[in-house]
Amino acid sequence: MPTPRETILAALHARLSVLPATALRGEVLPERVPAEGLLILRDGEPGEPEVTLSPLHYHYQHRAEIEAVVQGADRDAAFDTLTASVGSMLAADRTLGGLCDWVEAKAPRPVDLPVEGAASLKAAVIPVVLHYSTADPLA
């Protein structure tokens, strides 16, 4: 049986997978970026939990990251559309079906990356904070 952390990350990846862009989890940047864009979910860091004692619970603010990448002539508009779709998806269900207490994204910091012999990439990391509790930090 997967841990709550894995269940939450898998649910986030599943929701990213319904967007028009290709969604990967923990993969390296492929040689080609799909025309619709690319999203790569990084598991990130759970950080130090707050602990309550009766009953014992560990309350995490887990910081995952979504790398958003687009390529092509109209990459500014494509990037805006891609990041807005991620925001809309998260806003539609802030608890990932009841798995989290709350999910919130932070603003991306986009950068343009030149590619020799091809159209430039526009990319950013979108930090996503997953608020959840577990009875065991390893469970």
Averaged pLDDT of the chain: 94
Is residue 82 a part of any domain in this protein? yes
Please check the confidence at residue 58 and state whether its pLDDT lies above 80.
Answer: yes
Q: What pLDDT shows up at residue 72?
A: 86
Structure tokens at 75: 């990459």
Is residue 8 a part of any domain in this protein? yes
Q: What pLDDT shows up at residue 113?
A: 87
For the chain, the domain total comes to 1
pLDDT digits (tens, 9 = 90+) for 16-26: 999 999 999 99
CATH number, residue 108: 3.30.2000
User: Domain range holding 23?
Assistant: 4-134
Is residue 139 a part of any domain in this protein? no
H or E segment at 116? none
pLDDT digits (tens, 9 = 90+) for 65-97: 999 999 988 999 999 999 999 999 999 999 999
Is residue 17 a part of any domain in this protein? yes
State the pTM of this model: 0.94
CA atoms of 126 and 106, how far apart (whole Å): 6
Query: Are the CB atoms for 122 and 70 separated by under 8 Å?
Result: yes
Is residue 56 a part of any domain in this protein? yes
Please check the confidence at residue 116 and state whether its pLDDT lies above 90.
Answer: no
Q: What pLDDT shows up at residue 73?
A: 83
Strand extents, DSSP E, 1-139: 22-25, 38-45, 50-53, 56-71, 102-105, 111-115, 118-134
**116 or 15, higher pLDDT:** 15
